[in-house]
Structure 1
Amino acid sequence: MGRRRRGIPRAGAPDGNLLSPPGRNVGGFGDLPQPGPAFRRQVRGNVHPDRADSGRESWSADSHLPPASAAERRFGNVGICRLSIARGRTIRAMSPTRANDDSPGAGKPWEHAKAGGSGADALAAQFVQSLDFDTRLYRHDIAGSLAHARMLAHVKLITGDELNQIEQGLATIHSEIDDAGDDWPGWRIELEDVHMCIEAALIEKTGDAGRKLHTGRSRNDQVALDLKLWIHDAAGQLQEKFDTLFHAFVELAGRDGRIVMPSYTHLQRAQPIVVGSELMAWLCALDRAQRRVAALRTVNQRNPLGSGAIAGSSLPLDRDHTSGQLDAGSPTPNSIDATASRDAAVDFAFAMSMIAMNLSRWAEQWIVYATQEFGFVTLDDRYTTGSSMMPQKRNPDMLELIRGRCGDVYGRLVALLTLCKGLPIGYNRDLQEDKRHVFAAFDTVCDCMDMAARIVATARFNEERIASRLDEGFLDATSLAEHLVTRGVPFRTGHQIVGALVKRCLDDGVKRLCDLPLEALNDACEAAGAGRDVLDRAVYDSLGPANVVGRYTTTGNAGQTGFETQLEAWQSRLGA
């Protein structure tokens, strides 16, 4: 008997309505049922003990399944159907009896006319199967099958009674998988993938009605649709994670954002800014990443189902009807490209890479800021680790792992590009491997985003430490050069004057430009040919980091006014 995993909801949604009555929207690109089990797939089958569903409800009131509980909507969840299918453990091993069985649903339904096929060799069966990773598509596969079945009934290729049998059979299968997860008895290695496991289970339950489901359909167009639907849902879940991360940055900016700090170019001190402006910079980068993810829900929104294996079908399939059932946009215009293209997967992996890149840069910055030499940021002890040898250590391991895992996400993108680059047009089995990389990139990015949000939410900037060395590095030099411009001095001449003054300070052991007497400032102006008595006492209002951050006026500036404007905009956007 199948076991229900801890924290696994029987998903439900008021509007998704995967099992809606004929004529109602199935739910798809615009309204697809959301992921249920949050099983994490482990190669050796270790189940993550406390990972629950994202809690996004996905079934209607007329479904047989209750909605997710409040406890299953807790912070930090990562879902999109992570099944912990273990190789050689929960996948049902092929037996000679079952492989040669010709009873309904037994063996490979599509290889009955072949002499054995891969089912005749256990190693070949293991090598060709994708149940290690594609089981997390089961909700999307069922959604596509329901839309396809309703279209078949619409064009009179199946009867209304057969449609009812298919709908009820798929509802039962969905419920069984929700309950049993990777212990569902329908996961059988000789059936190779999620599509055929579900179809075989349906045939066992419905007989000839189930055998008619694949009419006019190939696994080639079936998996292309499933992956697009999954990417659509994954993009939606990422939006929630972005919101959590955005809130953490905005709340930190509200607490510590007005602290004056140095900025850096080339890792050398540059100009004074406020902490909040740097936090806003990370938000800008992540906002672009969010918009890139949001675009995934529209840029590849065309329905490949009905393209068949490569050439379409001679049957009177109504692809517009199927697309309408899935709210999936118009049908793809070319059946060959529809089954051969993995642009959606590559676009998704690129979007994941950009998230990972920005998180990696942020992690690197804070790793530096958390050093004893800088001491700008204090990380919560929960997100640091000790040393096995050195008792005093507080290592920023979580930040380092975010930085390190960026490389894995990049690798998945490169793997997908390499996978596709040598393929002739048309479906090739190489494309089975696309999901392995898409899912892995998504999982890594989700984990990194969750961890980043917790680190940001609990970090503090150390005002006293930052202030203790704020006068080092002549951060106000550019401000003095710009003040000279307001006194009629050409900028290049002003640049030369301030450079000479900085050199004088270094030679004389003077730490701050504001410690130079007015006479010395005017001497430098005269020496550069700018005239005598160019400056008066007002020049000192442009000196000192605290003064400088209040003088920036350009839109988007990194000083006090720019930060306050940006913070207000973000608070308004987030309702904070």
Structure 2
Amino acid sequence: MTRLWGGRFSRGPAGETLAFTSSIGFDRRLVHQDCAILAAHARALARAGILANEEAELAADALKQVAEDIASGAFAVDDNDEDIHSAVERALLERIPETAPRLRAGLSRNDRVAAALRLWLKDAIADLTARIGGLIETLGSAAATHADAVMPGYTHLQRAQPVRLADHLGAHAAALSRDADRVAACATRTDASPLGAGALAGTTLPIDREAVAADLGFASVIPNTLDAVSARDFAAEFLAAAAICGVHLSRLAEEVVLWTTSEFGFAELDDAFATGSSLMPQKKNPDVAELTRGKAGRLIGDLAGLLATLKGVPLAYNRDLQEDKEPVFDAADALAGMLSAMDGLFGTLQFRTDRMAEAASDWTLKATAIAEELVRRGVAFRDAHEIVGRLVSAGGGANPETLSEDDLTALHPELPDAVRDALEEGPPGAP
């Protein structure tokens, strides 16, 4: 077994301790980032005169192969490997036994794991931002296809006013656009290197932190070394952005669930994005939308879990921070899946614009427009609101066009013209 510590101990950890503290089950996905960090550190050691240039090149070549072998399974990660750093060192010792023990000079797992997570998250942020953009484009395409379709707009899930389907989809796209901005903005604070901070107080070796950061593609260096190894607000910020995006996707998914019911009938799911029932042959279930709705709660849980972990951790590094990776990985995976699924769903969703138009033809959706027509004719809005309310009640929901002009005039002399003009108007639409 290869451990990165142990000289001051008279015996190894108990099996229970090793099993409880091991993170190899989830941090192995940082293997490419960890190997890149070690290669950059080897080059830094060569610049500092601690390694020969040939040794640094040998280490970099070996690390490329180690990353590929661990990722592919050609090198078996052992359950006894405490973490991905231990597994990488074990693999390196097999390949370059003379050089491998010298690579960790001036490097701690504390700055190393923080850097690995930041590098991984930078890639995840770029991927998720692109996925959000893809869904926005799909919604925009659907809106353009159905630019003239009219449907009821809702408040309190009750029919309120007529709106355009394009505006309804555009509202969801606007929320997702803000999500893309939020997720992308996380990269700014993630894109900073903690390397060179060591365990917490830096290193006495002449490691050029700026050069290491540039080598790995970081935009900057975190100047305070205690902050460098202990900060996880970049992860919490990402989880917050992911959770907000998940909530927006959940609201979009809820629309799908409602619209595809027989009661609404506003849309029809493509067979490729629906599932059936094990008992009821007639069912076509919106499981993709429902799982999107469900996973939004999971994203909120990931955020809450990390914040709860961070709130009591003193400076600098504490093992509690090992709990940062699982929620970040889980949130990134869940959000990527949600975005892909909803993109595919909306790319194939069939809108029943005839059913939407039928529902939007309910004249009561024009009640506000009638009141505003009265306002145009000099009636105070408070009075107009009361007049139209009596109109709705007097007609029993029947179209006021079926009422006589005398009936309408009895409510207000301007009402017949107001009704006529309002019913001829199209939906106000969103700006």
Q: TM-score, length-normalised on structure 2?
A: 0.94
2:297 to 407, 426, 435: 407
CA shift for structure 1 position 217: 1.0
Distance 1:511 1:477, change over 3 A: same
Q: Aligned pair 1:475/2:365, yes or no?
A: yes
CA offsets per residue over residues 14-35 of structure 1, 9 Å max, x none? Answer: xxxxxxxxxxxxxxxxxxxxxx
2:225 to 326, 335, 343: 335
Higher helix share goes to which structure?
Answer: 2
Written as runs of structure 1 = structure 2, the 5 A alignment for 1:118-133 is 118=13, 121-133=14-26
Partner Cα distance (1:514, 1:227) in 2: 66
Which residue identity does 1:339 align to in structure 2?
Answer: V
1:427 to 302, 314, 317: 317
Match of 1:182?
A: 73
Q: List alignment gaps of at least 5 residues for structure 1.
A: 1-98, 100-106, 526-531, 563-576
Q: Aligned pair 1:540/2:414, yes or no?
A: no
Match of 1:511?
A: 398
1:266 to 135, 152, 156: 156
1:134 to 27, 49, 56: 27
Partner Cα distance (2:93, 2:359) in 1: 74
CA offsets per residue over residues 146-196 of structure 1, 9 Å max, x none? Answer: 222222222222221221111111122133234xx23523x2233311112
Match of 2:5?
A: 110
For the 8 Å contact 1:307–1:336, the answer to whether it is kept is: yes
Match of 1:355?
A: 245
CA shift for structure 1 position 517: 4.0
Q: Secondary structure at the match of 2:128?
A: helix
Q: Secondary structure at the match of 1:264?
A: strand
CA offsets per residue over residues 334-381 of structure 1, 9 Å max, x none? Answer: 111211121111111112211211111111122111111111111112
Q: Aligned pair 1:436/2:326, yes or no?
A: yes
Distance 1:515 1:154, change over 3 A: farther
CA offsets per residue over residues 259-297 of structure 1, 9 Å max, x none? Answer: 111010011111000111111111011111111110011
Partner Cα distance (1:214, 1:471) in 2: 73
CA shift for structure 1 position 306: 0.8
2:282 to 385, 392, 402: 392
CA shift for structure 1 position 124: 2.6
CA shift for structure 1 position 402: 1.2
Q: Secondary structure at the match of 1:456?
A: helix
Which residue identity does 1:523 align to in structure 2?
Answer: A
Partner Cα distance (1:188, 1:464) in 2: 61
Q: TM-score, length-normalised on structure 1?
A: 0.71
Q: Aligned pair 1:255/2:150, yes or no?
A: no
For the 8 Å contact 1:216–1:306, the answer to whether it is kept is: yes
Match of 1:222?
A: 112
For the 8 Å contact 1:349–1:438, the answer to whether it is kept is: yes
Distance 1:366 1:524, change over 3 A: same
Distance 1:292 1:500, change over 3 A: same
Which residue identity does 2:27 align to in structure 1?
Answer: D
CA shift for structure 1 position 304: 0.7
Match of 1:523?
A: 410
Written as runs of structure 1 = structure 2, the 5 A alignment for 1:70-469 is 99=1, 107-118=2-13, 121-178=14-71, 181-185=72-76, 187-469=77-359
Greater relative contact order structure (CA < 8 Å, 6+ sep): 2
Partner Cα distance (1:382, 1:487) in 2: 53
Q: Secondary structure at the match of 1:474?
A: helix
Which residue identity does 1:388 align to in structure 2?
Answer: S
Percent identical pairs in the alignment equals 38
Match of 1:571?
A: none
Which residue identity does 1:164 align to in structure 2?
Answer: E
Partner Cα distance (1:232, 1:344) in 2: 11
Partner Cα distance (2:357, 2:39) in 1: 64
CA offsets per residue over residues 443-473 of structure 1, 9 Å max, x none? Answer: 1111111111111111111122223333336
Partner Cα distance (1:149, 1:513) in 2: 82
Partner Cα distance (2:344, 2:62) in 1: 43
Which residue identity does 2:88 align to in structure 1?
Answer: I
CA shift for structure 1 position 112: 4.1
Q: Aligned pair 1:499/2:359, yes or no?
A: no
Partner Cα distance (1:252, 1:221) in 2: 47
Partner Cα distance (1:283, 1:222) in 2: 38
CA offsets per residue over residues 543-573 of structure 1, 9 Å max, x none? Answer: 15xx331xx3xxxx43xxx4xxxxxxxxxxx
Distance 1:330 1:384, change over 3 A: closer
Q: Secondary structure at the match of 2:278?
A: coil
Which residue identity does 2:346 align to in structure 1?
Answer: V
Number of matched pairs: 431
Distance 1:371 1:265, change over 3 A: same
For the 8 Å contact 2:26–2:326, the answer to whether it is kept is: yes
| RMSD of equivalent CA atoms | 2.0
Q: Secondary structure at the match of 2:172?
A: helix
